[in-house]
Amino acid sequence: MQTATGMVGPDMIAAELSEKIRARTARTCVVGLGYVGLPLAVELGQAGYQVTGIDRDPEKVRAIGGGECYIADVEPGRLAGLVGSGTLRATTDPAVLEAMDAVSISVPTPLRKTRDPDLSYVVAAAEDLAAHIHPGMLVILESTTYPGTTEEAILPVIERSGLKVGRDFFLCFSPERVDPGNKDFHTRNIPKVIGGMTPACTEMGALFYSQFMDQVVPVSSTRVAEMVKLMENTFRMINIALANEMALMCDHMNIDVWEVIEAAATKPFGFMPFYPGPGLGGHCIPVDPLYLSWKSKQTGHEARLIDLAAQINVQMPRFVVDKVQAALNDRSKPVKGSSIHIVGVAYKRDVSDVRESPALDIIKLLGERGGVMSYTDPLVPRIEIESRVLESQALDVMAKAADCVLVVADHSSIDYDRLLADADLVVDTRNRYQGVVSEKIVRL
C-alpha cells in the first residue's frame, strides 16, 4: 500500500507507532503488577502515558483502584495521584490488550521443584496477546528467563495471529534491574538494556524506553539482552559464594572474615568487596543463575562454576544453625528447649519480601533440633513454614527472654544498641556489630 508520503504498509505502521510514542498518545499496558511491573507502570504514567495494568490477582487490582500502594519502592502519593487523575488503572481482563499500542510483560518466572524454568505465566501472557494483538503493537518481555525464551516461547505463540514480527508488530526483551529497597537506584535511573527480534524491533523498543528512562542501552538481539540479566546476577551469586566460602574457611582457621574483606577492599584496583551472609534470598540471585545452568545443559555444556557456587550458598543456613548450636553449647545450653529469637525474616535489609529467605530455612532447621522459635520483623507481620504460622513479636520483650537472638536481616529500623543491652547472646550474621567488643556477640 502506497501513501501520499511515499511510505508502504510496514513503514507506515512503524512511523505511526513512533509518532504515538513520541507524542505520548500511545496506549500503554503493563502485564503483571508486582515489584517490577507496578513501578514501571507508575513511571509510564509520570511520563504522560495512559497506562493500564493487568494482573490476575483481584486484590492487587482492587488496591490500585483505591489508590493503595503495596510495593515499598513506589511512593504512595505518586500512585494515588495517577489513579485519581485517571492516568493509571488496573484490571484482570486481558481483553483490554486489543486497544493497546505498547505492552510490557513483567510476570513471574519461578523454578519448578525439578529446578527447571516455569514459563507458564509468560506463555499465558503470550496467549492473551495472540488473541488480542493488532498491527502496530510493541511487545516487550521483562521477566527474567533463559536465553532464547523470547524467540522460542513468545514469538511462535504471537505469530499464530498471522502477524509478522518486525513488520506488523515489534517484539523485544528488556531485563528488569530492580533492586528492592535501594534508595539511590530505581526504575528510571537504572540504564535500560533492550534487544529486539529484528533491528526495527530494537529501534522501536529503544525509542519507547527513551521517553521515560534516563539511559537506554540497545543490544543486537533478544538473546543478548536475556543473557545480560543472567550475567549480572550470576556474577553476584558466584562472588557471594566466594565470600561465603571464605567465611567457612576463616571459621576453621579462627580468622575474622569481615576484617579480611575490609582490609582487602582498600586495594584501589582489581578487587570488589562482597560479603558473606546467612544464605541467598529473593527471586533473582538464588534463581536466575539456575536458568542459565539449565539452558547450558540443554546445549551440552556443564555450568560447573554456577552449580558449585549454588551448592556453597545453599549450605549457609546450616552453617548459621551450627554457629547457634556452638554458641549455646559454650553457655552450657542445648538447642533443644532453648528460646531462639530471629531478628529479620525478609531476605535482606529493609524489604518485606521473604521469597527464598534464608531465615525460613534457619527457623525450620533450628526447630527440627528442638529450638523454640520466634521472630521480629517490622516489615513482615506473619510467616508460614510447613503449615505453621508465626507472627512477629515485640523485640524488647523477646530479646530479654531469649536464650539466643539471631540477626538474619539487619533492618535499619531496629535499635541494635538496645538489642545488645537486652539480650544474653547475639549471633550476628550481617556484621551489624562491626567494631563492637562484647562477650555477648558471636559473628558469622
Tens digit of each residue's pLDDT (9 = 90 or more) over 397-416: 999 999 999 999 999 999 99
**Per-residue pLDDT at 291:** 84
Does residue 174 contact residue 140 with C-beta atoms inside 8 Å? yes
Average confidence (pLDDT) over 129-148: 95
| Continuous segment of H or E residues that includes residue 306 | helix 304-314
**If you average pLDDT over every residue of the chain, what do you get?**
94
Average confidence (pLDDT) over 196-222: 98
Beta bridge partners of 219: 195
Top pLDDT among 270 and 287 is at: 270
- For the segment 307-355, what is each residue's pLDDT rounded down to a tens digit? 999 999 999 999 999 999 999 999 999 999 999 999 999 999 999 999 9
**Per-residue pLDDT at 1:** 42
Domains in the chain (CATH in brackets) are 9-220 (3.40.50.720), 241-443 (3.40.50.720)
Judged against a pLDDT cut of 60, whether residue 11 lies above it is answered with yes
CB atoms within 10 A of CB 240: 22
CB atoms within 10 A of CB 260: 15
Strand order of the β-sheet with 404-407 is 372-376, 339-343, 404-407, 426-428, 441-443
Which three cell numbers, joined as nine digits, stand for 20?
504515538
Judged against a pLDDT cut of 70, whether residue 8 lies above it is answered with no
Candidate from 110-119, 207-216, 232-241, 331-340 with smallest mean pLDDT:
110-119
Dist. CA 346–CA 360, nearest whole Å: 9
Tell me phi and psi for residue 111, to 5 degrees.
Answer: -100, 145
Residue 30's Cβ-side half-sphere holds a number of Cα atoms within 13 Å equal to 25
Tell me the percentage of the chain whose pLDDT exceeds 70: 98
Dist. CA 105–CA 174, nearest whole Å: 10
Beta bridge partners of 388: 385
What are the angstrom distances between the C-alpha of 301 and each of 293, 294, 297, 418? 9, 10, 5, 52
Angle subtended at Cα 61 by Cα 68 and Cα 136, rounded to the nearest 5 degrees? 120
Judged against a pLDDT cut of 60, whether residue 21 lies above it is answered with yes
Indicate the pLDDT class of residue 7, thresholds 50, 70 and 90.
low
- For the segment 117-135, what is each residue's pLDDT rounded down to a tens digit? 889 999 999 999 999 999 9
- Among 192, 185, 175, smallest CA distance to 234 is for 175
Type of residue found at 361: D
Type of residue found at 258: W
- For the segment 383-397, what is each residue's pLDDT rounded down to a tens digit? 999 889 999 999 999
Does residue 353 contact residue 380 with C-beta atoms inside 8 Å? no
Indicate the pLDDT class of residue 112, thresholds 50, 70 and 90.
confident
Does residue 311 contact residue 302 with C-beta atoms inside 8 Å? no
Average confidence (pLDDT) over 409-425: 97
What are the angstrom distances between the C-alpha of 128 and each of 56, 59, 173? 12, 21, 18
Judged against a pLDDT cut of 90, whether residue 270 lies above it is answered with yes
Indicate the pLDDT class of residue 57, thresholds 50, 70 and 90.
very high
From the candidates 69, 201, 250, 284, which is the catalytic residue?
A: 284
- Model confidence, pTM: 0.89
Clarify whether 284 is annotated catalytic: yes
**Per-residue pLDDT at 310:** 92
Which three cell numbers, joined as nine digits, stand for 192?
535500560
Which three cell numbers, joined as nine digits, stand for 373?
522459635
Q: Work out the angle between the directed axes of helices 37-46 and 76-84 (0-180°, nearest 10).
A: 60
Which residue has cell 574457611? Answer: 249
Q: Is 200 exposed, middle or buried (0-12, 13-18, 19+ CB in 10 A)?
A: middle
According to DSSP, residue 117 is labeled: B
User: End-to-end distance of the chain based on CA atoms, in angstroms?
Assistant: 70
Indicate the pLDDT class of residue 2, thresholds 50, 70 and 90.
very low
Does residue 185 contact residue 214 with C-beta atoms inside 8 Å? no
What are the angstrom distances between the C-alpha of 22 and each of 11, 135, 179, 207, 217? 16, 18, 28, 8, 18
**Per-residue pLDDT at 4:** 42
